[in-house]
Amino acid sequence: MLYHVPALLEESISGLKIRPGGIYVDVTFGGGGHSAAILDLLGQGRLIAFDQDEDAVKNAPDDKRLTVLNQNFRFLRNNLRFIGIDKVDGIIADLGVSFHQFDEPERGFMFRQDAPLDMRMNKSGSVTAASLIRTLDEKALANIFYDYGELVNSRKIARELTIARAGKPLAKASDIIAAIGKLAPPKQESKFFARVFQALRIAVNHEIEYLKEMLEQSLGVLNKNGRLVVITYHSLEDRVVKNFMRTGNFDGREQKDFYGNLVTPFRIITRKGIVPGEDEIAANRRSRSARLRIAEKI
């Protein structure tokens, strides 16, 4: 089975500006597509790859230049120090869920598959989507759907779920669909459920919090002129990345020097971000929401 097809592969690897003897980090190894492309250009350099999913680590090629760590990228700095690396020349992150995770029913990422409500990217984690729905109060559930799914009827969704769970455990995708199906806008059912499941997945895996931790650490480990390359797939994470690259903080709060110049740790390489072309979308429909942002540390 194909594990994953990287989006914007050529553009992202070009954006890393690889030096043959440099040190690079792929914080989302996945199917190894980006890492393989980096190794093709790396010469005698070194590549460190992270992935919290033990299934992904099995994709690692036998290459002495490559070190693969079965770790969440939130531990970027400490893990690099542990293997004797203080500074790197580039970091790449592809924040999309892999094809493998979407297509394996038991992982529970897709509402179209009547699978257990799992959604853990790290299968050793203790919190699943089912446990969140079972244990969180109505307000906390509403916040998840509003913050991470941008669903305007988040309170109604949370209300229907709490009513439904009082009658029986909500353990499968079909249980969620049955409980809140009447709230889906006509002719937009797929988009509605996709956002509901996205919100649960983000909450289970702490995706926004851990992304922020990794980005903050990237400042400390990147060499001067080192590149930060990030591919996002929805507006929440793209906003985080855009603000951080532009201002060095997550609120987009601008700080200016005495002369009115913006104080920022990065030089932006892609002002509006890069999106896939029609040919790539036709060949890989899952790339359609991808957006690539590149910045260089000053």
Tens digit of each residue's pLDDT (9 = 90 or more) over 8-58: 999 999 999 999 999 999 999 998 999 999 999 999 999 999 999 888 888
pLDDT per position as a tens digit, 222-252: 999 999 999 999 999 999 999 999 999 999 9
Task: Place domain 112-205 in its CATH homologous superfamily.
Answer: Putative methyltransferase TM0872, insert domain (1.10.150.170)
115-168 pLDDT, tens per residue? 899 999 888 888 999 999 999 999 999 999 999 999 999 999 999 999 999 999
pLDDT at position 259 over 80: yes
Whether 112-205 and 9-99+207-297 are alike in CATH topology: the answer is no
Q: Where are the domains of the chain?
A: 9-99+207-297, 112-205
For residue 282, what are the contacts with CB-CB under 8 A and spacing of at least 6?
A: none
Of 132, 147, 145, the C-alpha closest to 193 is: 145
Classify domain 9-99+207-297 by CATH number: 3.40.50.150
Model pTM?
A: 0.92
- Look over the chain and give the mean of its residue pLDDT values, rounded to a whole number: 92
